[in-house]
Amino acid sequence: MKRPTIADVARSAAVSPTSVSFAFNRPERVSDETRERILSAAAELGYAPDPVARSMSIGRTGTIGVLVPQPLASVVHNPYMSEFLAGVAEAAETEDLPIMLVGPRQGSIEHAIFGAAVDGFLTIGLEPFRPTIQLLTTRRLPYVMVDSDAVDGVACVNADDTAGARKAMIHLLEAGHRDIGILGIRSPQPGRWERYVGTLGRRMAGYLAALEVYGMSMEDVHLTECTVTEEGGRRGLSRLLDKPNPPTAVVSMSDIVALGALAEALHRGLQVPGDLSIIGFDDIPETRWARPSLTTVSQSSQAKGRIAAQLLIDLISGDRQPEHILLETELVVRESVGPPR
């Protein structure tokens, strides 16, 4: 038995399909009596309007897409992303919009963009790489870029990474540290920090700005790139500690990496912050659980998600123009930073 269509209901209630549609979507267009008849016929047949056909007709899907450049599984796992998504959900909820998680398809973002039935995209951490933007534009859907470099004419939402990174580095410098390591994030051009773009680039710029305040430069610190996992943090810190003149403090571009580094330091029997100070970035919930709890830079991912989603929703409904939004970052002082020995 196939799924009943609007025509089946119409036949069974002895009216036109038009009336059935009206009975569901514009009750005032049919008489009470007819509506009753239609609805009960529908109930009897077990009729439910097909959302796809509906979308097709009205030209909207009522869904917003969240486009992520990594495999979905890793994304949902990532606490930073969870918070972000919670924010997106918060905004989506007020409009009763489901949210669609879209990862790469057949390995390519392109297929993903073209295949998703959504009214607009929220992109996360996409390299502001021309091709991708162009695809998004070709698709002619509104979109908001989060955690990328701001692009003219495109809606963008970012945390003020530069200021945040600056605060983090200043915090260490003020505490008296001069031998500092940076746990960076693996980049397309390993080690070429001058070429970092997007979030990475801005954070690096912030570190740099802080160093300059103290008359230092990149020459005076050790940078190592890590994968964004605890394991990555472990390894990264190991590399730094095994150098001839190990740092007395490290800043990390990500809390996850920082927590890995913390674990490694404790594993090696180091006192934190006695022997080594550590500072992270993102303020994920785990930083509070860590012992010692992690000093980090908060960027309220949830607010970011909420604000970005709201912007997208407004863009879709057409009552706002693309704009750039910069969210404040804040240094959250906890227990993992102290003066050098």
Partner DNA sequence: CAGCGGAAGTAAACCGCTTTACATCCCTGC
Partner DNA sequence: GCAGGGATGTAAAGCGGTTTACTTCCGCTG
Could you list the residues that contact DNA (CB under 7 A)? Answer: 2-3, 5-7, 14-19, 21-22, 24-25, 28-31, 33-34, 47-50, 53-54, 56-59
* Residues 85-114, interacting with a copy of itself (CB under 8 A): 85-87, 89-90, 92-93, 96, 98-103, 105-106, 111-112, 114
Half-sphere exposure of 316 (CA within 13 A, CB side): 23
| Cα dihedral across residues 207, 209, 214, 220: positive or negative | positive
Classify residue 241 as left (phi > 0), alpha (psi -120 to 50) or beta: alpha
Q: Which two tokens stand for residue 77?
A: 């796992």
Distance CA 210, CA 112 (A): 40
- 22, interface contact from DNA, a copy of itself, none, CB < 5-8 Å by kind: DNA
Q: Which two tokens stand for residue 254?
A: 């990500």
Shortest distance in whole angstroms from residue 161 CB to a copy of itself: 23
**Comparison of 80 and 281: residue with beta carbon closer to a copy of itself:** 80
At residue 20, φ and ψ (nearest 5 deg) are -60, -45
* Residues 196-215, interacting with a copy of itself (CB under 8 A): none
169 C-beta neighbours (distance < 10 Å), count: 27
Shortest distance in whole angstroms from residue 9 CB to DNA: 8
Shortest distance in whole angstroms from residue 195 CB to a copy of itself: 30
Among 55, 227, 229, 238, binds a copy of itself (CB under 8 A): 55
Q: Does 131 sit near a copy of itself (CB under 8 A)?
A: no
Nearest to 226 by CA among 197, 265, 198, 200: 200
Distance CA 224, CA 234 (A): 12
- 122, interface contact from DNA, a copy of itself, none, CB < 5-8 Å by kind: none
Residue type, 240: L
**Comparison of 34 and 293: residue with beta carbon closer to DNA:** 34
Distance CA 7, CA 16 (A): 8
Q: Does 51 sit near a copy of itself (CB under 8 A)?
A: yes
Residue type, 85: L
Per DSSP, the residues of 204-225 read HHHHHHHHHHTT--GGGEEEEE
How many of the chain's residues bind a copy of itself (CB under 8 A)?
Answer: 54
Q: Does 7 sit near a copy of itself (CB under 8 A)?
A: no
Distance CA 20, CA 40 (A): 11
- 87, interface contact from DNA, a copy of itself, none, CB < 5-8 Å by kind: a copy of itself
Beta-strand relationship, 143-146 and 120-124 = parallel
**Comparison of 125 and 181: residue with beta carbon closer to a copy of itself:** 125
Among 122, 241, 251, 290, binds a copy of itself (CB under 8 A): 290
Which residue ranges make up the site for a copy of itself (CB under 8 A)?
A: 3, 46, 48-49, 51-53, 55-56, 61-63, 65, 71-77, 79, 82-83, 85-87, 89-90, 92-93, 96, 98-103, 105-106, 111-112, 114-117, 137-140, 285-286, 289-291
